[in-house]
Structure 1
Amino acid sequence: MPAQTTHQPTLTTEEVNDLMGYVYPQLNEGGRAYEAIDVFPGGCTVRLNADERHLRPGGTVSGPNLFTLADIGGYVLVLTHAGADALSVTTNLNINFMRKAEAGPVDAHCRILKLGRSLMVFDADIVAGPDRHSVAHATGTYSIPPAHRAEKS
């Protein structure tokens, strides 16, 4: 299913990274690990620069870090497509883990499935490794704050 390209972003990649750094500084304490690397109509790509602090025993990226990457992808989507309100919150997030992810860049290719007045539904294909194989797939829903609901009417 293609991204909902009728939805135009209102923030650039740089602007959303700056906003997240301001409203969510604890996300990248110790160095920028999570970041948006592309924002486009109906979607975005976010990256986890996975190093030893993100690894579980056995040397693979931990599930909680992949889950966080998917959630950050949804947050970037809602901030860039529904309004830059930091109070948007996750109401649901499901993830399926498919293979191990090694340290290094792990990308989540995210797309809006539905953007309404009060909710945004999205999915994320998380890829890693030299062959960029899918390591996980997530679906989620974000609640859009009431201030932005009126603007969407």
Structure 2
Amino acid sequence: MTSKMTAEEANTFLGGAFDTHASRSEVTLMEEGRAVVRLVADSTHLRPGGYISGPTQMSLVDTAAYMAVMTKTGHEPMTVTSNLSINFLRPCIGDVVVADARIMKIGQALAVMDVDVRIEGAEKPSSHAVVTYAIPRERSGMA
């Protein structure tokens, strides 16, 4: 089975729904159960010392998880974050940050994703998150 939303469709949706998404981050991959989001960091994303801030990483994690759910549900904007737990593993220093979200489990009401954040090209993740999304019950075929 293939993704119910393409990367192009995801970027169009995010660009229209969230003003802050427009030029800095992009969905680079949408395949069934997986989404990858890439962010070109600027000074608004940094802490002293050039570290990518925790809130920036959490936002990227949330976006990637949201898109991973949509690979299974299709366009479902009322899917909402229910829980986000993140562990900062090592300094996140670099110009481009990537979040890779994979669905661990999806049911009628909840989806749970595993998300790694790393500097583009890095082998080890800078942070790791587990995210739960609540899925509206009235979506097609799931009522």
TM-score of the aligned structures, taking structure 2 as reference length: 0.91
Asked if 1 retains the 8 angstrom alpha-carbon contact of 2:4 and 2:32, the reply is no
Separation in structure 1 between the aligned mates of residue 19 and residue 125 of structure 2, nearest angstrom: 29
Asked if 1 retains the 8 angstrom alpha-carbon contact of 2:119 and 2:125, the reply is yes
Separation in structure 2 between the aligned mates of residue 142 and residue 83 of structure 1, nearest angstrom: 14
Which residue of 143, 150, 153 maps to 2:134?
A: 143
The residue that corresponds to 2:19 in the other structure is: 25
The residue that corresponds to 2:9 in the other structure is: 15
Instruction: Compute the RMSD of aligned alpha carbons.
Output: 1.6
Please tell me the residue identity of whatever aligns with 2:72.
H
Shift of 1:25: 2.3
The residue that corresponds to 2:28 in the other structure is: 37
Separation in structure 2 between the aligned mates of residue 129 and residue 115 of structure 1, nearest angstrom: 28
Separation in structure 1 between the aligned mates of residue 25 and residue 96 of structure 2, nearest angstrom: 10
Please tell me the residue identity of whatever aligns with 2:142.
K
The residue that corresponds to 1:64 in the other structure is: 55
Please tell me the residue identity of whatever aligns with 1:85.
E
Q: Match of 1:124, SS?
A: strand
Please tell me the residue identity of whatever aligns with 1:89.
V
Separation in structure 2 between the aligned mates of residue 130 and residue 79 of structure 1, nearest angstrom: 26
Separation in structure 1 between the aligned mates of residue 142 and residue 7 of structure 2, nearest angstrom: 22
Asked if 1 retains the 8 angstrom alpha-carbon contact of 2:34 and 2:71, the reply is no
Question: What is the total number of aligned residue pairs between the two structures?
Answer: 143
TM-score of the aligned structures, taking structure 1 as reference length: 0.86
Please tell me the residue identity of whatever aligns with 2:141.
E
Please tell me the residue identity of whatever aligns with 1:11.
M
* Cα deviations by residue, 1:79-117 (Å, 9 ceiling, x for unpaired): 232231211100000000011112311111110001111
Separation in structure 1 between the aligned mates of residue 55 and residue 78 of structure 2, nearest angstrom: 22
Asked if 1 retains the 8 angstrom alpha-carbon contact of 2:28 and 2:38, the reply is yes
Gaps of 5+ in 2: none
Gaps of 5+ in 1: 1-6
Asked if 1 retains the 8 angstrom alpha-carbon contact of 2:33 and 2:71, the reply is no
Mapping for residues 2-151 of structure 1, pairs under 5 Å: 8-28=2-22, 32-128=23-119, 130-148=121-139, 150-151=140-141
